[in-house]
Amino acid sequence: MNSQAPRYFALIPAAGVGARMAASGPKQYLKIGGKPMLRHAIDAFLFSELIAHTYVVVSADDPFIDSVVPSHGVTVLRCGGATRMESVQNGLAALAGTLRENDWVLVHDAARPGLDEALIEKLITSTGEHPVGGLLALPVVDTVKRSIAGEVGTVSREGMWLAQTPQMFRYRLLRDALAAATDSARDPRQVTDDASAVEALGLSPKLVEGHPRNMKVTMPGDVRLAEMYLATAQPELL
Ligand SMILES: Nc1ccn([C@@H]2O[C@H](COP(=O)(O)OP(=O)(O)OP(=O)(O)O)[C@@H](O)[C@H]2O)c(=O)n1
Ligand SMILES: C[C@](O)(CO)[C@H](O)COP(=O)(O)O
């Protein structure tokens, strides 16, 4: 019987280049509401009493992080990889010996500045007892089209969700799932989120309804939308 109380850690992959944003530098350092995007994500975890510590994965030569990271509660891991998955894998590997096998890891995109303590608590209280883990997500409410070589069709939206982050899994399970995804014949670039690696093991994580404010800032037009969400009071949780 494991008598240790559960521990929750945040891991923020922040080693991307923001190609789709096409800004002058990596998008995670763009100011959103006067504060770098990455710092919004960090602060959500710092303000949460449930998170024991936060780790941020950046590229080895990142010149910006030292002016953004706070002086407490956060450790920078300069081990970013060529893909989001690699950055997460490298970050988890760097925490071997620090994290216990059954510690919960909440992986959250630096590109999602709208996360807040309420959503973190909702994910943890909804998932903490789940045998696999879970993630914030939004049910699809629009009709879904797929266009391939000019052929357009409609995909049933029954049971369809849009994955957000954090995605939370036990440290050992997540490391094993990502390692299996790397070893599999499947193109690892298909592993665009942490949950898909776990699902490839035949496991089903819990989907916990997130919020549109927790959007991923990807394209130039997303910056203003994210600022509008951040400018509003904390919304009632869905
Ligand atoms: N090699 C990479 C690629 C992405 N990320 C992180 O993964 C998150 C989600 O990725 P995405 O929104 O795609 O960011 P970028 O990869 O920077 O964007 P783009 O695909 O437009 O280049 C971001 O916080 C990004 O910093 C990472 O840590 N390491
Ligand atoms: C992890 C993620 O945010 C879930 O929707 C998404 O897969 C990240 O995709 P990206 O292309 O790395 O932004």
ipTM: 0.98
- Of ligand 1's listed atoms, the one at least distance from the Cα of 38 is 24
**Residue 57 Cβ contacting ligand 1 at under 6 Å:** yes
Does ligand 2 have an atom closer than 6 angstroms to the CB of 109? yes
Return the pLDDT at 62: 98
- Supply 43's token pair: 């602060």
Per-residue pLDDT of the chain (238 residues; tens, 9 = 90+): 456 889 999 999 999 999 999 999 999 999 999 999 999 999 999 999 999 999 999 999 999 999 999 999 999 999 999 999 999 999 999 999 999 999 999 999 999 999 999 999 999 999 989 999 999 999 999 999 999 999 999 999 999 999 999 999 999 999 999 999 988 766 766 789 999 999 999 999 999 999 999 999 999 999 999 999 999 865 444 3
Q: Is 60 helix (H, G, I), strand (E, B) or coil?
A: coil
Mutation to probe ligand 1, out of 39, 58, 109 (largest number of atoms < 8 A from CB): 109
- Measure 25 CA to ligand 1 centroid, in angstroms: 13
Give residue 17 CA to ligand 1 midpoint distance, Å.
6
- Gap between the Cα atoms of 14 and 30, Å rounded: 12
| Atom of ligand 2 lying closest to residue 83 CA | 12
The Cα 76–Cα 55 span in angstroms is 6
Cβ pair 47, 40 in contact under 8 A: no
What is the number of other CB atoms lying within 10 angstroms of the CB of residue 155?
11
How long is the chain? 238
Residue 72: predicted pLDDT = 95
Q: Is the C-alpha dihedral spanning 198, 199, 202, 206 positive or negative?
A: positive
Distance CA 170, CA 192 (A): 19
Q: What is the pLDDT of residue 26?
A: 96
Report whether the peptide linkage leading into residue 188 is cis, meaning its omega lies within 30 degrees of zero. Answer: no
> Would you say 73 and 54 are in contact if contact means Cβ atoms under 8 Å apart?
yes
- Please report the beta strands in the chain, taking only residues with DSSP state E, as ranges in sequence order: 8-13, 31-32, 35-36, 53-57, 74-77, 104-107, 133-139, 144-148, 151-155, 161-170, 206-209
For ligand 1, the distance from its centroid to the CA atom of residue 23, given in whole angstroms, is 13
Single pTM value for the model: 0.96
- Atom 3 of ligand 2: nearest residue by CA position: 164
The owner of tokens 């559960």 is: 6
Question: By the 8 A CB rule, do 38 and 14 touch?
Answer: yes
